[in-house]
Amino acid sequence: MIRLAFSTSVYGSRWDIEPIPKYSLPEKEMPPNIAYKLIRDDLQLDGNPGLNLAAFLTTYMEDEAEKLMTENLSKNFIDYEEYPITVELQNRCVNMIARLFNAPNDDETIGVSTVGSSEAIMLAVLAMKRLWKKRRIAEGKPTDKPNLVMAASVQVCWEKATRYFEIEENFVYLSEGTYVLQPEKAVELVDENTIGICAILGSTYTGHYEDVKAVNDLLLVKNKKTGWDVPIHVDAASGGFVAPFVNPDLVWDFRLELVRSINVSGHKYGLCYPGVGWAIWKSKRYLPDELIFNINYLGSDQASFTLNFSKSASNIIAQYYVLIRLGRQGFTSIMRNLMSTTDYLAAKLESTNKFEVLSDRNGNGVPLVAFRLTAKDLHYDEFDVAHRLREHQWIVPSYTMAPHINNIKLLRVVLREDFSRERCNLFITDLLHTVDYLDKMDKDYIHIKRSAAGRWKALKSISVLAFKDQSHKTNGVC
C-alpha cells in the first residue's frame, strides 16, 4: 500500500486512518488543523445544547459577550496586581447583585465571585460553621456536633458540603403534594448545634420557592427565646436572577433579618456561560476573618476567599456585560417571557389529560415545568418517555423525587432564554408523538429497550458502577 507523506486534506492524511490518541501522550505532534478537525468530529456526536431541556445553564450569549470572553480568556482573575480592572468589574458585579437582593446601603456588604453555586455554597457553609464554632468556644461548650437544617430536596452540593466539612444533615422530609421546606418543621429541628437553615429559592426538583419569610419569622422567635443566633442562608442558585424581576414583592432576601448570606448562579438565569457564581454576605461580620487568606506572591498584598485559586477572568467580565447590557428592563422582559412560556407549556400539557403538572406558575417558581404521567396502569413510565424523546434529540431528565416521596417519577423541562414559543410548540408535538408511540408499543418490547438502555448507560460510565447507590439525588442535570 502506498501512503502519501503529505496531504493538504484532513481526510487524505495518515491521521484519518490512525486511531486518535486516547490513553497515552502521542510521541509526535500533529498539525493544528488536523487536531481541531478530529476533536470537532467527536464533539459533533454530543447533543444539541439548545435541545437540552435538562440543564439550567445558559446556552446562548450575544456575539459581543462572546467576543469579550474570547479576548480575555488568558487573564487569570486571581492576579489582582496584573489585572486590577477585572477585579474592579467583579466588585461592581457584587455591588449590583447585593443591591438587587436588597442589601443595606452601606459598606458592610461583601461578596466574591465563584466558579458556580456549588463553590459559593461551600464558602457560605464554612462561614456559618466557623461563626457557630467561635460562639460555642466563647461559651465553653463542645463543638463536635454541628448540624445544618434543610429540606431533603436540596441540590446534591449541599450534601457534599455537609459531608466534606463534617456537619450533620438535619433533613426536613417532604410529603406528596408538599414539595418544599415546611417552615414549622425546619425550625423545630433547630437546636444549639445548628449552624444555620438553608432555604431554597427554586427547587431543583420542581422549581418551587420556599417560604423564606415564614422561616425567618419563626426562627426569630426561637432565637430570642433560647438566646441562640441561628442564621438563614438562601440558595438562590436558580431563582436569584428571576424572582426580583418577575415577583419583586416576594420577600426572601436581605430584607429579612436572619438572611445573612445568599448564593446565586451567574451561569443559570444570570445569563452567562458556565463558570460563574456569586456568594454574598449581608455584612462583613458574617464572614470570619480567619477564613480570608492574605497573600503577596503575585506582586501585591491581596485577600483571597475561594476554594480554588486560578481561574479565567472571562466569565466575570461576561457577567458584568450582561448586567449593564440588560439592566432591570432587559432582565424583566426576558424573565417575563420565560414565565409566560412556562405557564403556556404547563397549560398545554394539562389540556392533554395525559400529564399532571407539579411545578408552580404565575411567577411563583423558576421557569420550569415538572410533570408526570396521570394514568397509573400504563406499561411504560416517565423514564421510557425521556428515553424515546432522545430519538427526537430532546434531552429531558426523568428522575424520582426526594427521599420519602421517591415513589413519584417526574419529567422536567427547564426553560432558558433561547426556548422560544415556537421551540416550545415543536417540543409539545414531539412529546405527544412519543406518548402515542409508547401507547402502541408492545410491553415486552419496551422491557427489552429498557434493559438495553440500562446496559449501555452502565458501559458508558464507569462511575455508574463505581458509585452506585451513593446518593439519592435526582439525575436531572442542574
In this structure, are 70 and 40 located in the same domain? Answer: no
- Buried b / exposed e across 24-42, counting CB within 10 Å, b at 16+? eeeeeebeeebeebbeeee
In this structure, are 24 and 101 located in the same domain? Answer: no
Please indicate, yes or no, if residue 449 is contained in any of the structural domains.
no
In this structure, are 246 and 276 located in the same domain? Answer: yes
Q: At what angle do helices 314-351 and 63-71 cross, to 10 degrees?
A: 150
What is the CB neighbour count within 10 angstroms for residue 429? 11
Please indicate, yes or no, if residue 419 is contained in any of the structural domains.
no
- Side-chain-side CA neighbours of 272 within 13 Å: the count stands at 30
- Choose the final residue of a domain: 321, 356, 373: 321
Please indicate, yes or no, if residue 353 is contained in any of the structural domains.
no
Q: What angle do CA 478, 120, 327 make, to 5 degrees?
A: 80
CB 284 within 8 A of CB 75: no
pLDDT for 337-380, tens place per residue? 999 999 999 999 999 999 999 999 999 999 999 999 999 889 99
In this structure, are 31 and 96 located in the same domain? Answer: no
- Report the C-alpha gap between 320 and 296 in whole angstroms: 27
409-414 and 368-373 beta bridge pairing: antiparallel
In this structure, are 38 and 143 located in the same domain? Answer: no
- Domain residues for the domain of 33 are 10-44
In this structure, are 26 and 169 located in the same domain? Answer: no
In this structure, are 181 and 263 located in the same domain? Answer: yes
- Tens of pLDDT along the chain (478 residues) come to 455 556 778 888 888 888 889 999 999 999 999 999 999 999 999 989 999 999 999 999 999 999 999 999 999 988 888 888 999 999 999 999 999 999 998 778 999 999 999 999 999 999 999 999 999 999 999 999 999 999 999 999 999 999 999 999 999 999 999 999 999 999 999 999 999 999 999 999 999 999 999 999 999 999 999 999 999 999 999 999 999 999 999 999 999 999 999 999 999 999 999 999 999 999 999 999 898 876 555 454 556 788 888 899 999 999 999 999 999 999 999 999 999 999 999 999 999 999 999 999 999 999 999 999 999 889 999 999 999 999 999 999 999 999 999 999 999 999 999 999 999 999 999 999 999 999 998 888 787 877 766 665 655 555 555 555 555 566 555 5
What CATH number does residue 162 fall under? 3.40.640.10
In this structure, are 35 and 177 located in the same domain? Answer: no
Number of domains forming the structure of the chain = 2
In this structure, are 187 and 265 located in the same domain? Answer: yes
Please indicate, yes or no, if residue 461 is contained in any of the structural domains.
no
Please indicate, yes or no, if residue 351 is contained in any of the structural domains.
no
Which residue is it, cell 404565575?
362
In this structure, are 147 and 233 located in the same domain? Answer: yes
In this structure, are 35 and 105 located in the same domain? Answer: no
Q: What angle do CA 206, 56, 155 make, to 5 degrees?
A: 55
Three-state SS at 303 = strand
CB 387 within 8 A of CB 396: no
Which residues share a beta bridge with 111? 280
In this structure, are 34 and 72 located in the same domain? Answer: no
